[in-house]
Amino acid sequence: MDAQELIARRVAREIRPGTLVNLGIGLPTHVAAYLPPGMDVYLQAENGIIGLGARPPEGMEDPDLTDAGGGFVTAIPGAARIDSTLSFGLIRGGHLDMTVLGGLQVDALGRLANWMVPGKLIPGMGGAMDLVTGARRVVVAMFHTAKGAPKIVPRLELPLTSTRRVDLIVTEMAVIEPTDAGLVLREIAPGVDVDAVMRATAARLIVSAPVGQMLATV
């Protein structure tokens, strides 16, 4: 299992039946592939659909039905089309149960930076600021390091996405929960030890209760 699949499989376990969930562009998009078949969950794409389905077979794409990354999708039975104002009303208004977003950095306070690297990479925030501010639960799905440099840092060097503390960080090495006391190491990936996670993390990690194994029952 590669790093991306490990992260996506673990994040999929956070998703509860009967909820509305927004999966961000990039790595988080892959989470959908690992939801239990037939699970009663509605995926929102902020460009305008509740009830996002899988990619259609080749030749059956609808140019008017895409996800927020512009990729072709389908709509599940029970889906609803929404315009941009309703879409973000749902997000800001507390109607979105969970969002999964990629990250450039997360700091010791559990705050996320994911929309620009000043002077270099300026994609813009898109819907990220609204999602982090408004979703009931925010899960960050990202690689633990970038070119060897830790992405979980004591203090953000990059511009903040929201002052709100995220609820969970899932990487290919660990599952970390930001709390009032700090970043708590909850789980480590198969074949990874606690020391390795510590070395790859610049922020202080709290290791108290027994650390679980990611995807232990798989």
Q: How far is the CB of 83 from other proteins (least distance, A)?
A: 5
Backbone dihedral angles phi then psi of residue 214, each to the nearest 5 degrees: -65, 135
Q: Please say which residue, 121 or 207, places its beta carbon nearer to other proteins.
A: 121
One residue of 53, 150, 159, 182 binding other proteins per CB under 8 A: 159
Is 70 one of the binding residues for other proteins (CB under 8 A)?
Answer: yes
Is 62 one of the binding residues for other proteins (CB under 8 A)?
Answer: yes
Is 122 one of the binding residues for other proteins (CB under 8 A)?
Answer: yes
DSSP for 111-124, written as a single string = -EE-S-BTTTB---
Terminal-residue alpha carbon distance, the chain: 12
Distances (CA, A) of 128 to 25, 80, 99: 10, 22, 9
Q: Please say which residue, 142 or 192, places its beta carbon nearer to other proteins.
A: 142
Angle among Cα 144, 46, 131 to the nearest 5 degrees reads 50
One residue of 15, 49, 96, 141 binding other proteins per CB under 8 A: 49
Q: Please say which residue, 57 or 191, places its beta carbon nearer to other proteins.
A: 57
The string over 134-160, giving b where at least 16 C-beta atoms fall within 10 Å of a residue's C-beta and e elsewhere, is: bbebbbbbbebbeeeeebbbeebebeb
CA atoms within 13 A on the CB side of 2: 3
C-alpha dihedral (46, 130, 14, 110), degrees to nearest 10? 150
Q: Would you put residue 48 in left (φ > 0), alpha (ψ -120 to 50) or beta?
A: left
Is 64 one of the binding residues for other proteins (CB under 8 A)?
Answer: yes
Is 77 one of the binding residues for other proteins (CB under 8 A)?
Answer: no
Is 148 one of the binding residues for other proteins (CB under 8 A)?
Answer: no
Is 78 one of the binding residues for other proteins (CB under 8 A)?
Answer: no
Is 136 one of the binding residues for other proteins (CB under 8 A)?
Answer: no
Q: Is 46 part of the annotated catalytic residue set?
A: yes
Is 47 one of the binding residues for other proteins (CB under 8 A)?
Answer: yes
Interface segment toward other proteins; rule CB under 8 A; list 124-132, 142-150, 170-178, 206-214: 124-132
- The catalytic residue among 46, 61, 172, 177 is 46
Give the interface with other proteins as residue ranges (CB under 8 A): 45-49, 62-70, 75, 81-85, 87-89, 91-92, 119, 121-130, 133-134, 159-163
